[in-house]
């Protein structure tokens, strides 16, 4: 009997130790992730100081476009949407090379604004439209901060890159052999700053995040959505929990006639991933609702009012809160609520542990 009591006490103490160790490990990873996110934001600022513009937003391929041309960057030369990214082959001349599929700051301005008076980002409210924000990339920061791409894409073999230009390409790539290429070293020291890059990274949850009729599948089936040459280019920064860190880009202002206006917080076009889902649901894309006494739309982070980009980690649970409500409910092992208010509360559960830094 005494032996059984000793065994039980030992097991209880062991469970307490393991539980404490697990909490400490999670807290350590969270702190390391916050440091990585902050370091990436500083590297983005350094990129802008060096080249005069923010790192371009890469199109992440079929999982984010769901095959819809409206959600692919526009090519003003051909007058049609570009192929799914993140890279595509160019072989219409004497030289064959790869270039990046990029949302252009000028041609695709409405995409960056997010809320307009028509098109895929219509101002009207619906739960799907509210959370279906595709203004992010998992791969862009690895491409532009470390130069991890092949020489055929960024002009340099190994780490580093030639000078990036505002359309997302690299100076000298695709030009005649022997053209001058100014090499730049990586702007992000991954070993010193703790951020980790994973090659071949894909995210099955994205399939249903942007195409609710699809199934989550597994990483291999998502990877098969890319061409063979593209799979080698899927480099992503991952957080301390093994999930890709997202780079969001947006532009403030609503286009009225030929002028940009900011008449309400909605016109700042801040991605929903940065706003408490419960507060976002209260407003429902209607500026009149911002005046309600119970609404605190942006919250206490004043930096959001001036921001144009964000570096976002999903935190310990691996969910950003913008995923399809079905996949969030499955993760939480709960039924999908019928009302938008209860769905927002469910999103809030997985959104609350997100980590981010913003800048302009």
pLDDT at 10 (0 to 100): 76
Under a CB-based contact definition with an 8 Å cutoff, are residues 185 and 31 in contact? no
Question: Which residue would you say has higher pLDDT here, 288 or 8?
Answer: 288
pLDDT higher than 50, residue 37? yes
Give CA separation, 319 vs 97, 316, 332, 359, in Å. 36, 8, 11, 22
Strand order in 246-249's β-sheet? Answer: 136-137, 246-249, 309-313, 355-359
**Maximum average pLDDT range among 209-218, 258-267, 349-358:** 349-358
pLDDT for res 57: 96
Q: What is the pLDDT of residue 1?
A: 85
**Phi, psi of 66, deg, nearest 5:** 55, 25
**Are 68 and 93 contacting, i.e. CB atoms less than 8 angstroms apart?**
no
Q: What is the pLDDT of residues 295-325, one digit of tens each?
A: 999 988 889 999 999 999 999 999 999 999 9
Binning pLDDT at 50, 70 and 90, where does residue 76 land? confident
pLDDT digits (tens, 9 = 90+) for 86-117: 999 887 666 778 899 999 888 888 889 875 44
Residue given tokens 């991954």 in the structure block: 190
At 277-287, the pLDDT tens digits run 999 999 988 88
Ramachandran area for residue 253 (φ above 0: left; ψ -120 to 50: alpha; else beta): left
Residue 23 has pLDDT above 60, yes or no: no
List Cβ neighbours of 322 (8 Å cut-off, separation of 6 or more): 131, 132, 133, 209, 272, 273, 347
Omega within 30 of 0 (cis) for the link into 87:
no
Per-residue confidence (pLDDT) for residue 353, from 0 to 100: 96
pLDDT in the model for residue 13:
76
Per-chain mean pLDDT for the chain: 87
Nearest to 282 by CA among 298, 271, 262: 298
- pLDDT at residue 120, rounded to an integer: 44
Q: Is the confidence at residue 244, as pLDDT, over 60?
A: yes
> What pLDDT digit, counting tens, does each position of 157-200 carry?
888 999 999 999 998 887 765 566 788 988 887 665 567 899 99
What b-and-e string marks burial along 192-202, b requiring 16 or more CB atoms within 10 Å of the CB?
eeebebbeebb
Average pLDDT over residues 16-25: 60
Confidence at 135, pLDDT banded by 50, 70, 90: very high
Average pLDDT over residues 9-25: 66
Task: Say yes or no to pLDDT of 21 above 60.
Answer: no
| Res 41 pLDDT > 80 | yes
What is the C-alpha to C-alpha distance for residues 166 and 52, in angstroms, rounded to an integer? 9
């Amino acid at each position: 009997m005494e032996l059984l009591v000793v065994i039980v006490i030992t097991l209880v103490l062991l469970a307490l130790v393991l539980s404490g160790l697990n909490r400490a490990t999670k807290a350590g990873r969270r702190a390391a992730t916050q440091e990585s996110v902050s370091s990436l934001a500083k590297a983005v600022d350094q990129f802008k100081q060096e080249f005069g513009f923010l790192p371009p937003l890469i199109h992440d391929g079929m999982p984010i476009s769901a095959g819809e041309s409206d959600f692919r960057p526009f090519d003003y030369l051909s007058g049609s949407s570009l192929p799914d990214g993140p890279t595509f082959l160019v072989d219409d001349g004497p030289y064959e090379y790869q270039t990046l599929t990029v949302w252009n700051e000028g041609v695709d301005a409405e995409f960056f604004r997010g809320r307009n008076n028509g098109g895929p980002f219509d101002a009207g409210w619906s739960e799907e439209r509210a959370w279906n924000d595709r203004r992010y990339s998992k791969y862009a920061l690895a491409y532009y901060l470390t130069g991890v791409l092949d020489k055929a894409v960024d002009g340099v073999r190994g780490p580093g890159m030639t000078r990036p230009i505002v359309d997302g390409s690299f100076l000298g790539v695709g030009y005649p052999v022997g053209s001058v290429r100014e090499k730049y070293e990586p702007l992000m020291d991954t070993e010193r700053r703790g951020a980790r890059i994973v090659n071949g990274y894909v995210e099955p949850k994205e399939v249903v995040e942007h195409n609710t009729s699809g199934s989550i599948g597994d990483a291999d089936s998502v990877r098969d959505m890319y061409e063979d040459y593209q799979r080698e280019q899927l480099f992503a920064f991952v957080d301390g929990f093994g999930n890709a860190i997202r780079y969001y880009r947006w532009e403030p202002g609503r286009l009225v006639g030929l002028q940009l206006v900011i008449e309400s917080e909605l016109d700042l076009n801040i991605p929903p991933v940065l706003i408490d889902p419960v507060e976002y649901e209260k407003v429902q894309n209607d500026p009149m609702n911002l005046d309600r006494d119970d609404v605190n739309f942006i919250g206490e982070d004043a930096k959001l009012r001036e921001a144009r980009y964000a570096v976002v980690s999903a935190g310990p649970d691996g969910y950003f809160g913008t995923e399809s409500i079905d996949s969030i409910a499955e993760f939480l092992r709960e039924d999908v609520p019928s009302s938008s208010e209860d769905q927002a509360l469910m999103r809030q559960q997985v959104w609350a542990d997100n980590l981010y830094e913003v800048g302009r």
